[in-house]
């Protein structure tokens, strides 16, 4: 069973211009939409509104980031640091695919 998409959950974008990127859910708007940020291209001052059906929830969760956002003390650097292992893993897997095609 997939994890629930709740504030603090790490999600992977399956659709849209930001397809293939990891985000942290910061705010649940309603049954269909959430607000996400990655601290890099989508910073806290201009978060992205995404449909839940276009996101794939990951097992990782950062409730401290969601709590800091609710308190107004969250920082983009905090989100970037939390997502760094996911971005690194995505880059390594794409490099592996490129090398296997060439070799």
What percent of the chain is helix, strand and coil (3-state, nearest 5)?
40, 25, 30
Judge: domain 9-102, CATH 3.40.50.970. no
Return phi, psi of residue 51, to 5°: -75, 140
Can you tell me the mean pLDDT for 1-24?
A: 92
* Phi–psi pair at 43, nearest 5 degrees: -85, 175
**Each residue's pLDDT tens digit, 15-40:** 999 999 999 999 999 999 999 999 99
Per-residue confidence (pLDDT) for residue 101, from 0 to 100:
46
The pLDDT tens digits for 53-99 are 999 999 999 999 999 999 999 999 999 999 999 987 666 665 555 44
Q: What is the mean pLDDT of residues 34-57?
A: 95
The pLDDT of residue 97? 52
């Amino acid at each position: 069973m997939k994890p629930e998409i709740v504030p603090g959950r790490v999600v992977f974008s399956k659709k849209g211009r930001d397809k293939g990127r990891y985000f942290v859910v910061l705010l649940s708007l309603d049954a269909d939409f959430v607000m996400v940020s990655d601290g890099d291209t989508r910073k806290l001052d201009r978060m992205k509104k995404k449909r839940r059906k276009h996101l794939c929830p990951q097992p990782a969760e950062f409730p401290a980031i969601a709590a800091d956002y609710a308190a107004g003390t969250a920082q983009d650097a905090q989100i970037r640091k939390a997502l760094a292992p996911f971005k690194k893993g995505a880059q390594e897997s794409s490099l592996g695919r490129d090398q296997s095609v060439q070799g």
